[in-house]
Amino acid sequence: MNKLLVTSIVYSIFIIGGLLLFINLSHEDNVNIDQGKEIIKKLETSLSQNDHSEEDDDAGYHYNEEFLKVFQNIDQTLNFFIAVLIEENEELFTSFFIPQRYSDDLWAYSEDPYFDNANYKIMREVNRNGTLMSARYDYNIKDGYKSTRKDTDVKLIFVYEDGIEVELSIDLVMIGTEHNIKDNIYFIENSVLELIEEIKRQTKRKES
């Protein structure tokens, strides 16, 4: 009887432990859109005052401690990204992606991307014609393949006005410019065209 009781207790501990581990691993945070919009306001003010000075980085952000801390923080970077999508700020949207990767996608999307207003159209495909209303996320930080990088796997869930939710796997990489390592910020490494295809695939499946 005692042996059976001990066995039951051990099994119960394993089950409870497994449930707690599952809950912990599957935890998702809501994107703080209001905080993201506040960052947009501050950044636009800073950019207009500095008029893209020589101290701007590759993404166009003027180097100051406040914005460096924002774009070196995963949570705030995601808040900013979703707010940019919702407010449909074309210039800020394109700056999230690694420049060369985004340029390749841009020319793959259109033979004349500037005439076709391709940046705006790409952004609208991601937010499904302005219907993105919120997002949730979870992430896992791992050591990058370079000592100066931290790669981050992000599970980002877009929630649209029609109730459809799309789960994307986003690769955030912390890389820099010609400045020192402390000036590195997060960029999205994914192809934006591949993200669009995944959004369309999941949307089509859930609409059918």
pLDDT at 19 over 90: no
Residue 100 has which token pair?
A: 């060369």
Greater confidence (27 vs 40) lies with 40
CA atoms within 13 A on the CB side of 57: 25
d(CA 34, CA 207): 30
> Mean pLDDT over residues 41-55, rounded?
71
Strands 29-30 and 150-160: unpaired
- Dist CA 76 CA 39 (whole Å): 9
User: What are the pLDDT digits (tens) for 161-190?
Assistant: 999 999 999 999 988 755 555 678 899 999
Tokens representing residue 89 in the block: 């700020």
Q: Where are the alpha helices (DSSP H) in the chain?
A: 2-25, 33-50, 65-71, 74-87, 90-94, 99-109, 118-126, 192-207
Tell me the per-residue pLDDT of 103-131, one tens digit each, with 9 for 90 and over: 999 999 999 999 999 999 999 999 999 99
Task: Answer yes or no: are the C-beta atoms of 122 and 108 closer than 8 Å.
Answer: no
**Residue 164: predicted pLDDT:** 97
Both tokens assigned to 97: 């992606």
Q: If you average pLDDT over residues 31-36, what whole number do you get?
A: 96
**The overall pTM is greater than 0.85:** no
User: Residue 47: is its pLDDT beyond 90?
Assistant: no
Give the closest residue to 203 by CA, choosing from 170, 171, 156, 160. 160
pLDDT of residue 178: 53
What tens digit of pLDDT does each residue of 136-148 get?
A: 999 876 554 444 4
Contacts of 44 (CB under 8 A, 6+ apart): none
Q: What percentage of residues in the chain have a pLDDT greater than 70?
A: 72
**Which domains, ranges and CATH numbers included, belong to the chain?**
29-207 (3.10.450.100)
